[in-house]
Amino acid sequence: MSIRLRLTLLYSAILALTLIIFGAALYTIQAQETMNSLQANLIQNGNRLAQSILNNYLNPNSNPPPRPPGPPPVPIETLSGDQTFNQLRERVIVRVLDPNGSLVASPFAGQEQDNTGHALPLSADGLQTLKNKQVWWETSSTTGDPLLIYDIPVIYQGNVTFIVQVAQSLAQRDQSLAALSRTLIIAGLLTILIAFGIGWILSGITLNPIHHITQTAQVIGNESDFSRRVDYKGPNDEIGQLASTFNSMLVRLQDAYQGVSRALKMQRDFVADVSHELRTPLTTIRGNLELLRREPPMPAAEQSDVLTDVVDESDRLIRLVNNLLILARADAGQSLTRASIPVRAVIHEACKQAQQLDRQREIVEDVQDLSVTGDRDALKQVILILLDNAIKYTTEEITVSAKAEENRVLICVSDKGRGLSSDTLEHAFDRFYRGGTESNVQGFGLGLPIAKALIESRGGTIEIESQPENGTNIKVRLPVAHS
């Protein structure tokens, strides 16, 4: 069952319950009001007739009271007088009984044909109640129509002399109530039917944005196009918030999808580059081994050269594998030690070791007495990588500095070499990318990527500032160590 149908049914059910409660209350109030009106009418007529009998017929000086002349029933006018009888409301049935419940008087003394000469029903309990000088209400349908009967005892000198019965048909009231109930039922059903149709239309309009979001999600899932967005221009209600949240989720999915795509591309490029770098020394080693197996054997001097070449290529493979292991550990997030590292001592050791690569090169140290949080070996390796690159690509002096910068330590390795172009800067941290084109410059293009991975794994940053013919400045920022 769809949400649209459930909402429409819910609206209709609430409306139906409301109409049922309203209709039942209205019916009950109408039934009670009409019954009260009938009772008030009967009480007024019955009391007036009883009082008229006391005033016109019963003589206060006679004891016992006189009996009506002639055989019963006698006309009621004989007991009450013409004026009182004529003032009775239409459709009101009156009878006068003796204390034992026998008919004494009726309109026109029974000369009418519609059961006028018969007494109205009176139960034994009712007769006993009247003898006890209390009024009695009773309903009966023995005459064909339902009647509401009001019985009043006429008390003379402390005794019940007559019983006045006043009745009125309930048929008209029942017909009115039946018509009211039919009207309420028909009107309620029509109202619910109309409300169902209106609710179905309104719920469709309300849920249309959700349907649009669903269609957009299906298109995105089928086409894997995370650049699409939900076009919602309504108010910022629950549906508006849903559309906004969905669009925000699409932004994150698009970023993640693009990140995964870039990672897969980098992985493919990385595997291709590694394969290329490994194939060259392995091919060289295999070729040299084939030369050593050649018959007749090579001269001893040539064999020595071949073995030296094999050793050099093996060392090159070892360096490449070590660099790849460092990158793999950094990518895998393997934890390095976190300790307070004296920057001046580490930089001095790295500069002293780098000086061995080119004893003629001047390396200037301008280092403050600071400490950073990180791994000593990793920091030293980063400094060595930066110094090695500077030595390879410049013949000028190299400056290594360290100073405090807010809550970080800024380490700079600067040279006055030929600098880097904008295209080279863009790919400086790409693995196996080499900015220099000289054939005599050795390396795998893994130095700066290793430095970047080691620095960022310690919560630091590394950046390169360089312009052609204006030298290069590499800045490393690491968290300062607090005592």
Same domain, 159 and 276: no
Q: Rounded to 5 degrees, what are φ and ψ at 140?
A: -155, 150
pLDDT at position 20 over 90 = yes
Cα distances from 378 to residues 48, 270, 453, 457, in angstroms, run 119, 23, 10, 10
Buried b (16+ CB within 10 A) or exposed e, 279-306: eebeebbeebeebeeeeeeeeeeeeeeb
Same domain, 294 and 255: yes
Segments in 224-299 forming alpha helices (H): 238-292
Confirm whether 203 is domain-assigned: no
Same domain, 449 and 301: no
Give the residue numbers spanning the domain of 251. Answer: 238-314
Q: Of 65-79, 151-165, 428-442, which has the strongest mean pLDDT?
A: 151-165
The per-residue pLDDT for 113 is 38
Of 152 and 265, more confident: 152
Same domain, 302 and 345: no
The domain boundary residue, chosen from 260, 281, 314: 314
pLDDT at position 446 over 90 = no
Mean pLDDT of the chain: 80
pLDDT at position 14 over 50 = yes
User: Which pLDDT tens digit goes with each residue over 97-114?
Assistant: 888 888 888 776 554 434
Q: What is the mean pLDDT of residues 257-265?
A: 79
Same domain, 255 and 291: yes
Confidence of residue 277 (pLDDT cuts 50, 70, 90): low
**Which CATH number belongs to the domain containing residue 11 in this structure?**
3.30.450.20
Confirm whether 292 is domain-assigned: yes
CB–CB of 8/192 below 8 Å?
A: no
Same domain, 30 and 114: yes
**Which CATH number belongs to the domain containing residue 358 in this structure?**
3.30.565.10
What is the domain count for the chain?
A: 3
Same domain, 163 and 35: yes
Confirm whether 423 is domain-assigned: yes
Tell me the HSE value of 186 on the side-chain side, using a 13 A CA sphere: 6
Separation of alpha carbons 122 and 384, rounded Å: 124
The per-residue pLDDT for 114 is 42
DSSP three-state, residue 105: strand
The per-residue pLDDT for 231 is 74
Same domain, 166 and 251: no
Provide, rounded to the nearest whole percent, the portion of the chain with pLDDT above 90: 16
DSSP three-state, residue 314: helix
Confidence of residue 150 (pLDDT cuts 50, 70, 90): very high
Same domain, 262 and 377: no
**Which CATH number belongs to the domain containing residue 266 in this structure?**
1.10.287
Q: What is the mean pLDDT of residues 341-354?
A: 88
Confirm whether 196 is domain-assigned: no
pLDDT at position 439 over 60 = no
The per-residue pLDDT for 16 is 92
The per-residue pLDDT for 68 is 58
Q: Of 136-145, 184-193, 284-293, which has the strongest mean pLDDT?
A: 184-193
Provide, rounded to the nearest whole percent, the portion of the chain with pLDDT above 70: 83
Tell me the HSE value of 218 on the side-chain side, using a 13 A CA sphere: 6
Same domain, 264 and 348: no
- Lowest average pLDDT, out of 34-48, 63-77, 312-326, goes to 63-77
User: Which pLDDT tens digit goes with each residue over 189-207?
Assistant: 999 999 999 888 888 887 7
Same domain, 262 and 117: no
Q: What is the mean pLDDT of residues 306-313?
A: 83
Q: DSSP state, 66?
A: P
Confirm whether 226 is domain-assigned: no
